[in-house]
Structure 1
Amino acid sequence: MKTHAYVLAEKDAPFVWQEVELHDPEDNEVLIEVVACGICHTDLAVQSGAFPSPFPNVTGHEGSGVVMKAGKSVTRVKEGDKVLCSFNHCSECGPCQTGHPAACEGFGAVNFGRLRSSAVGQKPGLSGSNGGDLYGAFFGQSTFAKHAVVMENSCVKVPDDTDLITLAPLGCGLQTGAGSVLNKLKPEKDSTLAISGLGAVGVSALLAAKYLGVQTIIVVDVVPAKLELAKQFGATHVFNARDADVVDQVKAITPYKGGVKYFVECSGSVPALKAAWAMTANMGTLLSAGTPGPGVQPPFGVFENLVGCKTYIGLCEGDSNPPEFIPFLAKLYADGHFPIDKISKAFPYDKLEEALHAMHVGETIKPILVFT
């Protein structure tokens, strides 16, 4: 079928809205009419080449929509179902088989390599208006489009009364931050937890810590307006990362002035990670929820980490199992514990540049494109 999508022709190319043709869904895929899609920095990292991906392609990986057609082997959803879309996974490796699909051994291939399935292999999925191939299947979905062919594993069925615009971003950034706290760190109420980088991942980590009742929640960022926002969402202390003595400032308010017990680094900045390691107490845990891209090494030594008895964790997608965790986050939102509507703003699909500008200048943390 013919539809329209935002196409990246090559590295550093602009997003161009153009007519495309979707190839027919395979047996384990579904065709959805896209309602909305959150904009994530990962989409922009593909555009810049920071994250590897074949070109030309269509991105978008925080989509929502309504199922129009389901492949013959699909059991998770059916025609007419509302869905929120998340990452893809192979279903066959050890982590997938034991309830940890975000740690899938084939995560890079099936989400960035545009593999439609282990059986189908690397197929483009779309054709451009000139007949040339376009790669879809970004995180199993490529939902910067009016319609998308989505892997069954990327679909999460939700109730018919679900707000598909507000909740669209649950599929990546928001579950990443929240899952880092709720699924992995699980901090005690009387513990200290710090977060650096108050984007969508950082805010959701903050909201999760607030939900758990953590007594000391510290936020570090370079934007004063974001630090003020952090206070509104429950941060007990905020610090400007540009301060030369920010490490000492943070450590000064922790027990024995030794640093925090838990740290969630969300920016992906190497200097921020180095500072976070210094702010983490001996016997504490530092978790990377943000990344600068492939090939970058942690900015601290093995010996220093060993004698500090610190734990360093890399965590993908908040160690979430989307069919279970996304409905849980949706319930937290409905119950008033996860007010993501206060950090997002919806934009018509033809206002992409306006949405990107709003994100870059801090007018909104999570812009959402609406396609209906």
Structure 2
Amino acid sequence: MSETTQPREVRAAVTPSQGAPFEIRTLHLRAPEADEVRVRVVATGLCHTDLIVRDQLYPVPLPAVLGHEGAGVVEAVGPNVRHLRPGDHVVLSYGHCGACANCDDGAPSYCVDFFGRNFGGSGPDGGHALTDDGGKPVNDHFFSQSSFATYALCRENNAVRVTEQAPLALLGPLGCGIQTGAGAVMNTLAVTPGSRVAIFGAGAVGQSAIMAARIVGAATIIAVDIIDSRLDLARELGATHVINASREDPVEAIREISDGGVDYGVESTGNTNVFRQGIDSLGKRGVIGAVGAPPLGDETSFDVNDLLIGGKQIRGIVEGDSVAHTFIPQLIDLHLQGRFPFDKLVRYYDFEDINQAAADSEKGETLKPILMLGAP
């Protein structure tokens, strides 16, 4: 048995119970099978979704290894892998079956088994890839990767090969948060040149939407947040107007700036009250996309006649409607050209400082933490 087909000892950040701090533990990761790929993780982003799962707002079984914005180097591949080879640089994105009607239709983020493959805590067959020293399984397969670990097991269809010209340690957040914000603007809403856009929430997802809106030529780009430093960065990244919602009514301000309402809105906070503000900020025939994730079961309200008479649309968006294998390389090209400077959103942390990274993210001091696990 070669070294790459043996189980791997890994250091992993385990979420032991609801709301508990992450714990660095030694676990064991099995060899890849079928179309699986084992990746030596160089760095991984820490996303809001990791934290809401830690706090059980999404019911992933615990204890578990989370992490879903991994970037690294392919170490070993299963016998059915066709396009990846050891040594390839990859970004890990979301899980999908690749065979259902939506996957076949080019909409893998709406895979019929999306929740199971990303939040189920195990593989599609109920099996686990990670075990503890006693051989007991640990919940894993989070977003088909569980990349809060020095090695991760994914499938070929959610490992995106990327150019070695790009800094691998930076790229992980493209697998979820960054492609979600940019894709909402570029893919789902298809924001048009000269249009008016309002972005609610200037975190990593919202800032990515702002950069994308500038790339596609929106004329009015309005950023809404309650933290002045985020709004300052939004201006730097392309916002033409900023609104601090703690000091003024964002709906009134947006209507005044946009002469009656915007053409497009992106709601990235997951706050249902903010989502209602976004709907009310739309102009005639405006459309708003919801990308922020509130706790399961949260509801909001809106004026049906306002929606009806105004011809407004509400659209749910998962992963920016991105086909990761094509969209992530496009975003990397834009970054290398200096047109998509998402590096301005990140701050790097040693893996052992994961709890500090989480605290800084929750306080709004860091937009996108990236955890460093190994050398490129």
Aligned to 2:137: 133
Select between 321-330 and 68-77 the one with higher mean Cα deviation: 68-77
Structure-2 change in CA distance of 1:352 and 1:276 (3 Å): same
User: Compared with structure 1, are the counterparts of its residues 115 and 132 closer, same or farther at alpha carbon in structure 2 (3 Å cutoff)?
Assistant: closer
Structure 2 distance, partners of 1:357, 1:13, is 12
Query: Which of these residues, 223, 226, 229, is aligned with residue 233 of structure 2?
Result: 229
- How many Å separate the matches in 2 of 1:225 and 1:81? 38
Conserved 8 A contact 1:114-1:123: no
User: Offset of 1:51 from its aligned partner?
Assistant: 1.0
Q: Which moved more, 1:362-371 or 1:238-247?
A: 238-247
Displacement of 1:115 in angstroms is 4.4
Tell me the TM-score normalised to structure 1 length: 0.95
Letter aligned with residue 224 of structure 1? D
- Residue 25 of structure 2 aligns to a residue whose secondary structure is strand
- The yes-or-no answer on 1:210 pairing with 2:214 is yes
Q: Distance in 2 between matches of 1:370 and 1:245?
A: 40
Q: For 1:79-94, list aligned pairs within 5 A.
A: 79-94=86-101
Other structure's SS at 1:333 match: helix
Aligned residue pair count:
367
RMSD over aligned Cα, in angstroms? Answer: 1.4
| Cα deviation 1:56-108 (Å, max 9, x = unaligned) | 11000000111111000111311111111000101111120021111111110
Letter in 2 for 1:74: V
Please state how far the C-alpha of 1:265 moved relative to its aligned partner. Answer: 0.5
Q: 1:361, 1:293 → 2: CA distance?
A: 19
Say whether residues 1:112 and 2:116 are aligned partners.
no
State the AA in 2 paired with 1:124.
H
With 49-58 and 315-324 compared, the bigger mean Cα shift is at 49-58
1:64 has 2:71 as partner: yes
Match of 2:48 in 1: 41
2:9 pairs with one of 2, 5, 26 = 2
Aligned to 2:28: 21
2:339 paired residue number = 337
Name the residue aligned to 1:295: 297
Q: Is the 8 A contact 1:184 1:318 kept in 2?
A: yes
Q: Which residue of 2 aligns with 1:190?
A: 194
Letter in 2 for 1:368: I
Gaps of 5+ in 1: none
Task: Please point out which of 166, 174, 177 is paired with 2:178.
Answer: 174
Aligned position for 2:365: 363
Moved more, 328-337 or 72-81: 72-81
The whole-number CA distance in structure 2 between the counterparts of 1:66 and 1:244 is 47
The alpha-carbon deviation at position 301 of structure 1 amounts to: 4.4
Deviation at 1:307, TM superposition (A): 2.7
Aligned-partner residue type, residue 113 of structure 1:
G
| Partner in structure 1 of residue 264 of structure 2 | 262
347-356 or 276-285, which moves further after superposition? 347-356
Q: Give the Cα–Cα distance (whole angstroms) in 2 for the partners of residues 25 and 54 of structure 1.
A: 23
C-alpha deviation, 1:351, in angstroms: 1.4
Q: Deviations over 1:122-180 (max 9, x none)?
A: 21221123432201111110000011111222100112333111111100000000000
**Could you tell me how far 1:53 is from its partner in structure 2?**
0.7
Match of 1:163 among 153, 163, 167: 167
Corresponding residue for residue 4 of structure 2 = none
**Aligned pair 1:54/2:56, yes or no?**
no
* Aligned residues with identical type, % of pairs: 40
- Corresponding residue number in structure 1 for 2:105: 98
The match for 2:254 is: 250
Aligned residues of 1:116 and 1:151 also touching (Cα < 8 A): no
Contact kept, 8 Å, 1:266 with 1:290, in 2: the verdict is yes
C-alpha separation in 2, matches of 1:62 and 1:150: 12
What is the TM-score when the length of structure 2 is the normalising length?
A: 0.94
Task: Please give the per-residue CA displacement for 1:292-320, whole angstroms capped at 9, x wherever unaligned.
Answer: 03222232144442233210000100000
Q: Given that residues 38 and 366 in structure 1 are in contact (C-alpha distance below 8 angstroms), is that contact kept between their aligned partners in structure 2?
A: yes
Contact 1:137–1:151 (Cα < 8 Å) also in 2: no
1:349 is matched with 351
- In 1, Cα distance between the equivalents of 2:267 and 2:101? 27
The 3-state SS of whatever aligns with 1:165 is: helix
Match of 2:5 in 1: none
Aligned with 2:203 (options 176, 199, 205): 199
| Cross-structure match for 1:152 | 156
**Distance in 1 between residues matched to 2:104 and 2:178, nearest whole Å:** 24
Amino acid at match of 2:56: G
For 1:156 and 1:140, how far apart are their aligned partners in 2? 13
Contact 2:166 2:336 in 1 (8 A): no
User: Which one is further off, 239-248 or 77-86?
Assistant: 239-248
For residues 56 and 115 of structure 1, the distance between their equivalents in structure 2, rounded to whole angstroms, comes to 12
Provide closer, same or farther for how the CA distance between residues 190 and 161 of structure 1 changes in structure 2, counting only shifts above 3 A. Answer: closer
